[in-house]
Amino acid sequence: MSTLDDTKQAPEELEVVHRKSGLRRIFERRETSLVLVLVALVVLFSILSPRFASAANFGQIVTDMSIVVIVGIGVAMVLFTRNIDVSTGSMVGLTAFFAADLSAKNPDLPLIFVVLASCALGGVLGAINGGIVATLKVPSIMVTLGTLYIYRGIDSALAGANQVTAQNLSPEYNTIASWTIFGFPGIFVYALIIAGIAHVFIRHTYSGRSLLALGSNPLAAEKMGIASKRWIFGAFVLSGVLSGFAGVLWGARYGTVDSSVATGFELVVLAAVVVGGVSVNGGNGSILGVIVGAAILSVIAIGLALLNVSQFWLQAIQGLVIVAALVFDIFIRRRVEARRKGARS
């Protein structure tokens, strides 16, 4: 792309960015109402169960949501481009086994190398998704649904009947996920750092805005010279890399790694991202939303687990609370919008 083209496009673009920053306030309101929902849930569970509001339990909640946030950020990036990635469960599963097996068989290998190798494998898996979607223009739901099975199949072939258990791994492997700083879980620190970088990228860089613009109006974005293929490819690679990192964390956190690890996890991640207000129609949403969405799901899951709910009803009640939370969220948003309109007229 020549620099001349860039300058030509600049005014138009500025306008888009300007309009976006106008919309930004609504996004922020969107998150505000989600945070209110989260606070309401915390208050509710604190009243229902005396054990809910404890430092240990909040530590548990942020630990529980961290892997969802990390994978969710990659998925959100893909959703921003008006695509979807439903293969994350298998990417996490495959990389979890790969990393744990690698470390168990080569105990002398520095862990940083294991982490990088797992991220690289995840990146390759993501590149396959992104490559097919971007170059062949096949709908991403079909591509990633296919690779969901392919990656799981490779995992199954690789793992066979083998398991890597916490006993096979070095104690240091465990600490990748279990370290704390001033009592604050390290696994959540990873999530926050990744979220911080992603937030700055999306909100404060030209590239990040291009990504959102591409999702909100692919045709206009293309006319503006935004290289859509490259962004779509990049988003899928990122989703893969973050899944690869999550794979290492999974093994470190849950101990036993077999070929069924993280089965169905893609839906948990999608639920968190969508609850967090990221639009499946592209171009809309925020990283903060992903964090709040994951937090809402974790609070509901852990809150219900502390109440003496029968496990057979747990899922149904969990679904019910999620729907109720979203209805409450919409209700708040409408009130806010109505008040704003009222103030204008």
Partner 1 sequence: MIKPKLLAVSAIALLAVAMSGCASTTPSSTEGAGADRTIADCTVTMIPKSTDNPYFAAVHTGFIQASEELGGKLEYVGPAAGEVTAQIQRIQSAGQQKSCAIGIAALDATAVAPSLDAAAKTGTKIVAWDGDVAQGSRGIFVNMATAQALGESQFEILADAMDDTGEWAIISSQSTADSKNLWIDAMNEMAKDPKYSGMELVKTTFGDDDSKKSYDLAVSLIRAYPELKGIMAPTPVALEAAVKAVNDLGVQDQIVVTGLGNPGNDAELLTSGQVPAYVLWSPVDLGYLTYYATAAYIEGKITGAEGETFDAGRLGEKTIGANGEIIMGDPVVYTKDNVEAAIEKDFEATN
- Please give the residue ranges that form the binding site for partner 1 (CB under 8 A): 49, 51, 56-57, 60, 64, 156, 159-163, 165-167, 178, 250, 253-263, 301-302, 305-306, 308, 311-312
Distance separating alpha carbons of residues 213 and 219, to the nearest angstrom: 10
Token pair 């989600």: residue: 34
CB of residue 121 to partner 1, shortest distance in Å: 20
Token pair 């679904």: residue: 319
Nearest to 322 by CA among 250, 261, 272, 253: 272
Q: Which is nearer to partner 1, 177 or 214 (CB)?
A: 177
CA 343 vs CA 64, 330, 340: distances in Å: 41, 20, 5
Structure tokens at 81: 């481009």
Phi, psi of 81 (to 5 degrees): -85, 10
Q: Which is nearer to partner 1, 168 or 284 (CB)?
A: 168
Q: Which is nearer to partner 1, 9 or 174 (CB)?
A: 174
CB of residue 290 to partner 1, shortest distance in Å: 20
CB of residue 38 to partner 1, shortest distance in Å: 20
CB of residue 315 to partner 1, shortest distance in Å: 11
Q: Which is nearer to partner 1, 48 or 200 (CB)?
A: 48
Q: Which is nearer to partner 1, 281 or 308 (CB)?
A: 308
Which helix (H) or strand (E) segment holds residue 180: the answer is strand 180-181
Q: Which is nearer to partner 1, 231 or 265 (CB)?
A: 265
CB of residue 234 to partner 1, shortest distance in Å: 29
Task: Find all residues with CB under 8 Å of 19, minimum gap 6, and list them.
Answer: none
Structure tokens at 271: 């639920």
CB of residue 323 to partner 1, shortest distance in Å: 22
Q: Which is nearer to partner 1, 167 or 345 (CB)?
A: 167
Number of H helices, E strands in the chain: 13, 2
Q: Which is nearer to partner 1, 131 or 255 (CB)?
A: 255
DSSP one-letter code for 85:
-
CA 25 vs CA 29, 203, 223, 292, 337: distances in Å: 6, 12, 27, 17, 11
- As to burial, measured by CB atoms within 10 angstroms (0-12 exposed, 13-18 middle, 19+ buried), residue 205 is exposed
Q: Which is nearer to partner 1, 166 or 192 (CB)?
A: 166
CB of residue 95 to partner 1, shortest distance in Å: 15
- As to burial, measured by CB atoms within 10 angstroms (0-12 exposed, 13-18 middle, 19+ buried), residue 141 is middle
- As to burial, measured by CB atoms within 10 angstroms (0-12 exposed, 13-18 middle, 19+ buried), residue 312 is exposed
CB of residue 305 to partner 1, shortest distance in Å: 3
CB of residue 248 to partner 1, shortest distance in Å: 15
Structure tokens at 80: 């921003």
Contact of 100 with 155, CB cutoff 8 Å: no
